[in-house]
């Protein structure tokens, strides 16, 4: 370090490394800066655009107005003749410059800041206008060098204005790098350390976008190195970022850049967008380092619990009981054999859940607005599930056996080659579990679908593990299998009894089908079930002698099963949209975004209930908390508008609404307070006075 | 298919499923926040001792990230601004001053212990400790991004101030005089028992030269 005044000056000069070459240029080892005018001559009263052109050495960069975590924006202290006005600089779209764990914003190679210089009207034409400025520009590579010096330019004036062809190319290039005005309505939101920017445009405008990044004009609004994720859906594109140390303030200004894979990036200018508080969460695609949300572990635990509870649901319980009975028969078999069957079952369950999750994730990544339960929004899938449940019921009733020559459920294992059948049983358990939801499951899945693909799949794998766990534990722990009741005649009766919950599940699925595709469809599907039962019964009859009888038998099977399939297909294309479900709740109005906005603008409290016919939790909640005279009176007393959204079939408007609150499935209960304010989301399992409590607390908060 | 071979093929796939389940759950680092306990740290000083935040509890601690070759650090040391601030803080407020060098070996500002001691002598600086943080652990714990970057921790271990040293984010030496010094203001606020008026300010300077 040097001491002394003279050495101080010398040090500063050497550090600046700048020396005037010509009157208008600052040149240093890594940066050349000069002023360039777009016009060759300018008429007094007109405006001429002047560029501060910066050319950097390879590997060196200068900064944007918000330099990011470190660095400094170039500054010009103008020295102007009387009456000459220079506007604020127009900054080209910045680029991200990561430096280890930091991120800066700026330009490499070369860039130009544009200034609008207005020649006063009274300026004598022909007299040159001398512009000068003390420039301080920080240029960095791994180290930084502040360059300072004087840039100057003489602007010729005359009776006309003419552009300078020599500079045309540079100005064209520079203007092309300026962010465009945003063509879509913009909404910014900030809450809980998160920030989101919504561009409300048609989905087609964003079809090629693979990622985006929001640059705030000033330091501290956004966390610069944090990942920014995008979501593309029915109401356009949203970019999700993290707030910085200073927070967002009332309005947001900055630049948003949309990246398009190998294609050109597009940048748009955002000026004073008002900042609200309703931050949604993103779906897919990101720019920057990936940070796993802290909630994934919690979602996995929830999924495990949900999977465990699924075992108790009427759709799954028969399958589980069937497996357990098989175990009981096997109590004397080798422990390793039991364990293998347990593991095969577990693998079948997890593989099925992962496959289902994979389909869901792929559909959403493709922009499809589907959520959990999507498998039940297709009439054909619902019909097939009904067939599967009925078939399992028939098996339990003893109409037919699996595996032909092997008698009884346990037969396969004692022969030691039933691994495939255990795996298949696991798949079956997952399939029949698909229409059911257990507590915790909906939360876990809803959260999972908003994670990146790996996180989402982990949660689904945990769900499968939870479902398979009880059976796995019993098959693995030596003593437990022995504790199960010993096989006996009671077992056959129990097995036959278990058929009935399966039939009940099939009946429920036919009911869902009736709501989706009409009463005709339900009738056709039921006929199909009967044909299926017939075909299965014929197939299960012992092999007959005689070619004719055998031929008849085969024909009957084909006709019956073919008929079942055909009837189902016919049912699934029935157009009828079922009886209007909303009639069930005479006080509810059908949900649309427009209606919600209308009521909110009118200053009323709005209660939104997103439900679906196949959602059992929804039905239970509605029985417990959302029906009856007490509830009607509550709504009337608080002047609450009640909107009900039916997601039995696909409805992108409802899917978007769910996503706004970070959910991917139903039920969802939201109260929008009168007179604006943050929406309150109710828990998924409602207590009888849940809505009353919220309304009361809102009323008292206002009073 | 024999029992054991099937078992062997099953176990890896189940292990994979379990691994996938666990893979999603990773922790996120917390950034320092004013009003909350300051991140703990432990580092080796230029005197060869180890110092940690717990050791310094009981007195106000100022952390100063520095890099002797950074033009912004030059501005404060060349004008004696930083040295004066160090002496004043220690005399008026009983501060323990810790300078931290988080430059990775081979990068600008990296110093061995003897070089760091020599630099302190040359610049007539007055830190109580100079922490050599070549691995960047202390820097990352505090999310230090620039040199200089200042943090003030009170006697109870609560973070009270973080950010830039003053309101003149320029490398020009002329901007030191007349700048509003946030560190001085924060220490005055703390001494008077007030909340720090400007507790989070924009840090400016060269980027901290973390290793990759």
Q: How confident is the model at residue A293 (pLDDT cuts 50, 70, 90)?
A: very low
Reported as a single tens digit per residue, the pLDDT across A467-505 is 888 888 888 877 776 676 776 777 778 888 888 888 888
Q: How confident is the model at residue A369 (pLDDT cuts 50, 70, 90)?
A: low
Architecture, CATH, for domain A5-177: Sandwich (2.60)
Please determine, for residue A692, whether its predicted confidence score (pLDDT) is greater than 80. yes
* A181-287 CATH fold: Immunoglobulin-like (2.60.40)
Q: Which of A72, A344, A454 is facing B23, going by the closest CB pair?
A: A454
- Which top CATH class is A581-702? alpha beta
Q: Which of A2, A8, A294 is facing B28, going by the closest CB pair?
A: A294
Please give the residue of chain B at the shortest CA–CA distance from A353.
B17
**Considering only A208-222, A399-413, A653-667, which range has the smallest mean pLDDT?**
A399-413
pLDDT for A66: 96
Please give the residue of chain A at the shortest CA–CA distance from B109.
A143
Reported as a single tens digit per residue, the pLDDT across A372-393 is 666 677 788 888 888 888 888 8
**Could you list the residue range(s) of the whole structural domain that residue B154 is in?**
34-207
For residues A329-367, b (16+ Cβ closer than 10 Å) or e, as one string? bbbebeeebbbbbbbbbbbbbbbbbbebbeebbeebeee
DSSP state of A90: B
CB B141 within 8 A of CB B40: yes
Please determine, for residue A300, whether its predicted confidence score (pLDDT) is greater than 90. no
CA distance B146 to chain A (A): 6
Reported as a single tens digit per residue, the pLDDT across B184-204 is 999 999 999 999 999 999 999
Residue at B24 is within a domain: no
**In the predicted model, what is the mean pLDDT of chain A?**
81
pLDDT for B27: 31
Please give the residue of chain A at the shortest CA–CA distance from B147.
A70
Please give the residue of chain B at the shortest CA–CA distance from A291.
B28
CATH number for the domain harbouring residue B157: 3.40.30.10
Q: Which of A144, A148, A465 is facing B206, going by the closest CB pair?
A: A144
pLDDT for A318: 76
Residue tagged 């005479």 (tokens): A586
Residues in chain A within 8 Å Cβ distance of B209: 100, 142
| Cβ–Cβ below 8 Å for B170 and A71 | no
Please give the residue that has the higher pLDDT: either A639 or B98.
Answer: B98
Reported as a single tens digit per residue, the pLDDT across B149-185 is 999 999 999 999 999 999 999 999 999 999 999 999 9
Boundaries of every domain in chain A: 5-177, 181-287, 296-508, 518-577, 581-702
Please determine, for residue A406, whether its predicted confidence score (pLDDT) is greater than 80. no
Could you tell me how far CA A353 lies from the centroid of its own chain?
19
Q: Residue B41: which of B98, B89, B3 has the closest Cα?
A: B98
Reported as a single tens digit per residue, the pLDDT across B87-120 is 999 999 999 999 999 999 999 999 999 999 999 9
Reported as a single tens digit per residue, the pLDDT across B20-75 is 444 333 333 578 999 999 999 999 999 999 999 999 999 999 999 999 999 999 99
DSSP per residue over B164-175, as a string?
A: -SBS-----GGG
Dist. CA A494–CA A291, nearest whole Å? 51
CA distance B201 to chain A (A): 8
CA distance B96 to chain A (A): 24
CB B102 within 8 A of CB B68: no
Reported as a single tens digit per residue, the pLDDT across A319-328 is 777 777 666 6
Mean pLDDT for the stretch of residues A293-312:
78
Please give the residue that has the higher pLDDT: either A289 or A329.
Answer: A329
Residue at B129 is within a domain: yes
Q: Which of A136, A419, A458 is facing B172, going by the closest CB pair?
A: A136
Q: Which of B13, B170, B204 is facing A136, going by the closest CB pair?
A: B170
Residue at B20 is within a domain: no
Q: How confident is the model at residue A661 (pLDDT cuts 50, 70, 90)?
A: confident
| Percent of chain A predicted with pLDDT > 90 | 26
Q: How confident is the model at residue A437 (pLDDT cuts 50, 70, 90)?
A: low
In chain A, the N- to C-terminal Cα span, in Å, equals 66
Residue tagged 């330019």 (tokens): A153
| Cβ–Cβ below 8 Å for B171 and A416 | no
Residues in chain B within 8 Å Cβ distance of A350: 14, 17
Q: Which of B10, B21, B208 is facing A458, going by the closest CB pair?
A: B21
Q: Which of B10, B16, B17 to mutate to test the interface with A (most CBs of A within 10 A)?
A: B17
| Cβ–Cβ below 8 Å for A455 and B71 | no
Please determine, for residue B80, whether its predicted confidence score (pLDDT) is greater than 60. yes
pTM: predicted TM-score of the whole model, two decimal places: 0.55
Please determine, for residue A8, whether its predicted confidence score (pLDDT) is greater than 50. yes
Residue at B144 is within a domain: yes
| Cβ–Cβ below 8 Å for A138 and B171 | yes
CB A441 within 8 A of CB A307: yes
Query: How many independent structural domains does chain B possess?
Result: 1
Domains A5-177 and A581-702 share a fold: no
Reported as a single tens digit per residue, the pLDDT across A157-174 is 999 999 999 999 999 999
| Cβ–Cβ below 8 Å for A343 and B7 | yes
Q: How confident is the model at residue A703 (pLDDT cuts 50, 70, 90)?
A: very low
Q: How confident is the model at residue A367 (pLDDT cuts 50, 70, 90)?
A: low
| Cβ–Cβ below 8 Å for B207 and A100 | yes
| Cβ–Cβ below 8 Å for B10 and A416 | no
| Cβ–Cβ below 8 Å for A296 and B25 | yes
The CA-CA-CA angle for residues A305, A307, A312, to 5°, reads 100
Residue at B127 is within a domain: yes
| Cβ–Cβ below 8 Å for B21 and A461 | yes
Residues in chain B within 8 Å Cβ distance of A246: 200
Reported as a single tens digit per residue, the pLDDT across A586-622 is 678 888 888 888 888 787 888 999 988 777 778 878 8
- A54: enclosing H helix or E strand: strand A47-56
pLDDT for A602: 80
Residue at B48 is within a domain: yes
């Amino acid at each position: 370090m040097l001491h002394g005044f003279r050495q101080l000056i010398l040090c500063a000069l050497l550090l600046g490394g700048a020396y005037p070459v010509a009157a208008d240029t600052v040149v240093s080892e890594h940066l050349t800066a000069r002023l360039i005018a777009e016009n060759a001559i300018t008429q007094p009263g007109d405006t001429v655009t002047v560029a501060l052109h910066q050319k950097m050495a390879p590997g060196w960069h200068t900064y944007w107005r918000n330099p990011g975590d470190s660095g400094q924006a170039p500054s010009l202290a103008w020295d102007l003749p009387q009456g000459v006005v220079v506007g604020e600089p127009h900054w080209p779209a910045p680029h991200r410059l990561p430096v280890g764990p930091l991120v800066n914003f700026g330009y490499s190679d070369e860039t130009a800041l544009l200034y609008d210089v207005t020649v006063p009207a009274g300026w004598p034409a022909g007299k040159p206008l001398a512009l000068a400025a003390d420039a301080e520009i920080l240029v960095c590579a791994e180290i930084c060098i502040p360059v300072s010096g004087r840039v100057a330019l003489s602007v010729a004036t005359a009776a006309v204005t003419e552009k300078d062809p020599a500079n045309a190319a540079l100005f064209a290039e520079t203007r092309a790098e300026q962010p465009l005005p945003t063509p879509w309505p913009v909404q910014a939101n900030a809450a809980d350390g998160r920030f989101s920017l919504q561009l409300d445009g048609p989905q087609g405008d964003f079809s090629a976008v693979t990622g985006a990044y929001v640059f705030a004009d000033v330091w501290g609004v956004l966390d610069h190195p944090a990942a920014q994720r995008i979501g593309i859906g029915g109401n356009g594109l949203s970019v999700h970022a993290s707030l910085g140390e200073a927070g967002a303030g009332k309005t947001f200004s900055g630049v948003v850049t949309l990246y398009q894979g190998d294609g050109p990036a597009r940048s748009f200018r955002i000026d004073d967008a008002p900042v609200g508080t309703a931050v949604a969460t993103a779906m897919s695609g990101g720019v920057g380092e990936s940070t796993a949300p802290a909630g994934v572990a919690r979602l996995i635990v929830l999924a495990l619990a949900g999977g465990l509870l699924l075992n108790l649901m009427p759709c799954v319980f028969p399958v589980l009981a069937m497996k357990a009975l098989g175990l009981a028969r096997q109590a004397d078999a080798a422990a390793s054999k039991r364990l293998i069957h347990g593991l095969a079952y577990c693998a079948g369950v997890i593989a099925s859940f992962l496959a289902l999750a994979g389909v869901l994730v792929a559909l959403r990544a493709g922009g499809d607005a589907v959520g959990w339960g999507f498998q039940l929004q297709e009439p054909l899938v619902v019909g097939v599930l009904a067939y599967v449940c009925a078939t399992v019921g028939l098996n339990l009733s003893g109409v037919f056996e699996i595996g032909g020559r092997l008698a009884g459920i346990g037969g396969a294992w004692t022969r030691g080659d039933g691994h495939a059948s255990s795996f298949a049983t696991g798949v079956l358990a997952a399939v029949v579990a698909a229409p059911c939801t257990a507590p915790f499951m909906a939360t876990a899945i809803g959260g999972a679908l908003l994670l990146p693909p790996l996180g989402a799949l982990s949660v689904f794998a945990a769900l499968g593990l939870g479902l398979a766990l009880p059976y796995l534990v019993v098959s693995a722990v030596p003593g437990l299998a022995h504790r199960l009741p010993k096989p006996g005649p009671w077992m056959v009766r129990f097995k036959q009894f278990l058929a009935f919950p399966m039939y009940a599940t099939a009946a429920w699925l036919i009911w869902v089908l009736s709501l989706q595709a009409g009463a005709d469809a339900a009738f056709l599907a039921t006929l199909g079930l009967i044909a299926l039962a017939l075909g299965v019964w014929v197939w299960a009859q012992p092999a007959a002698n005689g070619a004719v009888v055998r031929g008849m038998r085969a024909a009957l099977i084909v006709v019956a099963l073919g008929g079942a399939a055909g009837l189902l297909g016919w049912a699934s294309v029935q157009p009828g949209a079922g009886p209007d479900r909303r009639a069930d709740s005479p006080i509810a109005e059908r949900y649309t975004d427009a209606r919600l906005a209308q009521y909110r603008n009118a200053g009323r409290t709005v209660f939104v209930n997103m439900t679906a016919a196949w959602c059992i939790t929804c039905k239970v909640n509605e029985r417990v908390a959302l029906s009856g005279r007490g509830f009607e009176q509550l709504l009337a007393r608080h002047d609450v508008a009640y909107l009900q959204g039916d997601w039995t079939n696909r409805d992108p408007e409802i899917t978007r609404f769910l996503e706004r609150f970070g959910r991917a499935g139903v039920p969802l209960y939201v109260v929008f307070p009168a007179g604006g304010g943050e929406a309150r989301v109710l828990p998924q399992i409602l207590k009888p006075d849940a809505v009353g409590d919220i309304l009361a607390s809102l009323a008292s908060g206002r009073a | 298919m024999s029992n054991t071979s099937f078992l062997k093929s099953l176990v890896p796939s189940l292990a994979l499923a379990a691994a996938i389940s666990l893979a999603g759950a990773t922790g996120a680092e917390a950034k320092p926040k004013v009003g909350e306990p300051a991140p703990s740290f432990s580092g080796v000083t230029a005197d060869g001792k180890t110092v940690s935040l717990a050791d310094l509890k009981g007195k106000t601690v100022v952390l100063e990230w520095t890099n002797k070759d950074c033009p912004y650090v030059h501005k404060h040391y060349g004008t004696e601004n930083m040295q004066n601030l160090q002496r004043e803080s220690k005399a008026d407020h009983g501060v323990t001053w810790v300078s931290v060098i988080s430059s990775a070996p081979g990068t600008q500002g990296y110093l061995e212990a003897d070089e760091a001691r020599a630099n302190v002598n040359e610049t007539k600086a007055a830190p109580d400790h100079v922490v050599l943080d070549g691995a960047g652990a202390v820097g990352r714990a505090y999310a230090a991004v620039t040199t200089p970057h200042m943090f003030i921790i009170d006697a109870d271990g609560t973070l009270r101030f973080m950010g830039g040293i003053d309101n003149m984010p320029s490398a020009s030496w002329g901007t030191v005089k007349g700048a509003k010094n946030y560190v001085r203001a924060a220490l005055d606020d703390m001494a008077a028992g007030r909340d720090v008026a400007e507790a989070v300010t924009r840090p400016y300077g060269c980027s901290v030269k973390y290793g990759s």
